[in-house]
Amino acid sequence: MGLFDKLAGWLGLKKEVNVLCLGLDNSGKTTIINHLKPSNAQAQDIVPTIGFSIEKFKTSSLSFTVFDMSGQGRYRNLWEHYYKEGQAIIFVIDSADKLRMVVAKEELDTLLNHPDIKHRRIPILFFANKMDVRDSLSSVKVSQLLCLENIKDKPWHICATDALKGEGLQEGVDWLQDQIMQSNQNNENVRA
């Protein structure tokens, strides 16, 4: 596989990556994913995800398959069925929803302690979304409330975002792409 990856890089082929997009309902997951797609593939109207949907988008060196998982309480137990296939996680937080920050932390803790995630060095990108909303929490405050500083065994990054305008999204995707590329290089070095 390492040789194929190198050949794909030389030929300009893109490596496909499976990304789980998680977060509570109404946090902006689907809007974020929609904004990451090329403008000609973006939906005009965003509706809440029921169960999950699969979306694809590309960056300069990676082709992302994103599993947009519903954040409604009755669907959250579906998340764990996709943990094994996930190579990266985008966790979206509604930074204006102070009341449910505790619920978001509980879901994050459940995710981090799941056997399919716990011992993997999987990158996690946090989007503190809805930064444009009055009285929303800063990404630093969201980080503190979620106790992100306690995540020692996985690379993580948090960005303040406004999914409706696309602000902050590119920084996050660039970070995630760098983490995935580093992980692939480290895996190739281990095999060599």
* Active site residue ranges: 72
Burial call 61-79: b when 16+ CB within 10 Å, e when fewer: bbebebbbbbbeeeebeeb
71 is in an annotated binding site: yes
- State yes or no: 24 annotated in a binding site: yes
26 annotated as belonging to a binding site for a ligand: yes
Q: Which residue has the tokens 């669907």?
A: 75
Q: Is 166 annotated as a binding residue?
A: no
Determine the Cα–Cα distance for residues 137 and 142; give it in Å rounded to an integer: 6
- Cα 91 to Cα 83: distance, rounded to the nearest angstrom: 13
Burial bucket for residue 44 (CB in 10 Å: 0-12, 13-18, 19+): exposed
Question: How far is 84 from 61, CA to CA, in rounded Å?
Answer: 23
User: Is 94 annotated to bind ligand?
Assistant: no
Asked whether residue 29 is marked as a ligand-binding residue, the answer is yes
User: Per the annotation, does 12 bind a ligand?
Assistant: no
Q: Is 129 annotated as a binding residue?
A: yes
Q: How far apart are alpha carbons 175 and 23 in whole angstroms?
A: 19
186 belongs to an annotated ligand binding site: no
Answer yes or no: is 27 a known binding residue.
yes
For every residue of 117-166, DSSP letters joined together read HHTS---EEEEEE-TTSTTPPPHHHHHHHTTGGG--SS-EEEEE-BTTTT
Strands 156-160 and 88-94, bridge-based pairing: unpaired
Binding-site entries = 23-30, 49, 71, 129-132
Binding-site entries for Mg(2+) = 30, 49
Binding-site entries for GTP = 23-30, 71, 129-132
